[in-house]
Structure 1
Amino acid sequence: MEAEEPAGLAEQRGGSGAAGGLQDPGTRRDPPTPPVGGPVVVAAVTNAAFEEDPPPYTPPDPKSLHLLYPPFPSGFSPQAPVVYQPGPGGPFPPQGIPSAPLPYPTFNGQPSAGSAQRLPRDYLVESVLVTVFCCLLSGVIALVYSYETRAALSRGDVVQANAASKKAQSLVLFSLLFGLFASISWVIYVLVSLNL
């Protein structure tokens, strides 16, 4: 019969009685602490895959290109059709494009026959009125945008005319509200100062 080791002797050997001096899975051992003031050893791990030069680049074989990119379907034209905006005196419409009414006026300023778009307002009268009676600064800027709306309509640029018309409308509304606020504030100030 084998004699059993004392418990303290088994712990000194690094095992807790298990065969081969291995730890039990439930026990935990702290790493050894390095000596104070002594040299510290750092282990560096290298990746063996990056130690050598990479292999040289080899382009794909042109004969195997059809495996990478399938051929175009039959009847496919590699050049896409180019569509230009119609100009004065040119072929109207180009071949291959169905004719449809234009949503914008032509170059001479007259709207096309099929356009259902309303032309934007130019708020010129309102801009003059709010400049004189309500707010000088925003009224002058509204005048500039109302003139820009008229100029864009005369050259047939409806998109720019819409943008300028919206800006002129918002500036006219701002000037009107600011003028009303200033007038009502002045009336309240005068009434309060007279009653005190």
Structure 2
Amino acid sequence: MDREEPGGTGCGPQGDPPPPAHGDPPVVVAAVTNAAFEEDPPPYSPPDPKNVHLLYPPFPAGFSLQQMPIVYQPGPGHGVFPPPGIPAVPLPCAANDGQPSTGTSAAGHGQRLPKDYMVESVLVTIFCCLLTGVIALVYAHETRAALGRGDMAQANVASKKAQSLVLFSLLFGLFASTTWVIYVLVVLYL
């Protein structure tokens, strides 16, 4: 009976393969290492929101789920599609000539795209109220980003917030300017 060496696999001392016999070809052993990972790989982290557009590109203008073709492939145990007696016709699809839509939503319901208020936000930031003007700029940028990725709901919400902040900044700036003029006139003439 063969006796196994401690710590080995029984093929030779310390688990080495047996030496080649006299007529056997030489055995070539290659080892590959990954120099990039010398330690454990980094833990999982979700994708960076700033780079999500690289992973999930935005839908093209005029895209809707109603335009997607429906492909049905019956599996085992399923009936025939379309059922007998009903002719196979393509599903209706909205015509898209490749031109970007202007002034209507992607679904084509006659709904207008929300305004981003970027110019107004810049003007009220410079001339009226710095704090609320900068916040209006943030919402104006958020509106543009939502429009770019086709998220109409988020674009509408951000547009309404930007509009409110622009209006507030304008009214606050007018109030502050009027108050300052009155104060100066009162101090000079009294």
- TM bracket (short chain): 0.3 to 0.5
**Alignment TM-score, normalising by the size of structure 2:** 0.48
**Alignment TM-score, normalising by the size of structure 1:** 0.46
